[in-house]
Structure 1
Amino acid sequence: MSQNEFARSIFISNGYIAELEGEHRKVNDRIIQLISLTFGVNEKWLKDGEGSMFYSTPGEKLQRMTGLFNDLPPKFQDYVMQQIEQLLNVTGKADP
């Protein structure tokens, strides 16, 4: 994966990546969360180097997603649910 592809996948610019590499910016919690959610990387491992690099089970991913979802205000929770339903419709996996 190129830096450009990586940047796009977590919704940041190539310039931002360059600033991180040049140590002109620090990696913030938002970037860590995006990397974790996009690539299944254990957030604790990214922050502290502790634990395994990747979430190893679907249950761990679900637990992480549930925690993030619960931290959102109700109107954003509704938006997330709508997006999930649209993804299921697009993939043909929605309930009939």
Structure 2
Amino acid sequence: MSVNQRIKQVRQSLNLSQAKFAKAISISNGYIAGIELENRNVNDRLIKLVSVTFNVRESWLKTGEGSMFEEQPNRLSKLASATFKELKPEYQEYILKQIDHLLDIQNKEKGE
């Protein structure tokens, strides 16, 4: 099963339409449809958004191993999610770009 299929599985297990799922993570309906049809690639930012928003284990999204959901929400994740939702859309975009940048730095440090 691909990461795209696992994202679809998350959405279905939460009984959310593509529109509601997409809105919750601030992406377009068309984008989520493209992911589910495997016409779009899933990046680390999207994995983070799905993980934080829906309490899904990142490692499960990436590999399919273990359980889908975290046992208990992480305090920092809950705080970050609540704060993120209060921001204006343009600030949310800025934060997401910064997260992408930090992930790039982290991956370079790991030698990936």
**TM-score under structure 1 normalisation?**
0.59
- The answer to whether residue 39 in structure 2 is matched with residue 39 in structure 1 is no
Shift of 1:21: 2.2
Any gaps of 5 or more consecutive residues in structure 2? 1-15, 87-112
Alignment partner of 1:24 is 2:39? yes
**Counterpart selection for 1:6 from 21, 28, 45:** 21
What are the ranges of 5 or more consecutive residues in structure 1 without an aligned counterpart? 66-79, 87-96
Aligned length: 67
Worse-matched range after superposition: 48-57 or 3-12: 48-57
Q: Cα 1:50–1:8, aligned 2, differ >3 Å: closer, same or farther?
A: same
C-alpha distance in structure 1 between counterparts of 2:69 and 2:36, whole Å: 22
Taking the aligned partners of 2:64 and 2:17, their CA distance within structure 1 comes to 24
CA RMSD of aligned residues (A): 2.4
Supply the distance in 1 between the matched residues of 2:69 and 2:53 (Cα, whole angstroms).
Answer: 11
Contact 2:48/2:58 (8 A) holds in 1: yes
From the CA coordinates, give the structure whose radius of gyration is larger: 1
The runs of at least 4 consecutive aligned structure 1 residues that moved more than 6 Å come to: none
Q: Which amino acid aligns with 2:42?
A: V
Q: Which amino acid aligns with 1:8?
A: K
Instruction: For residue 42 of structure 1, report the CA deviation from its aligned partner.
Output: 0.4
TM-score in terms of structure 2 length? 0.51
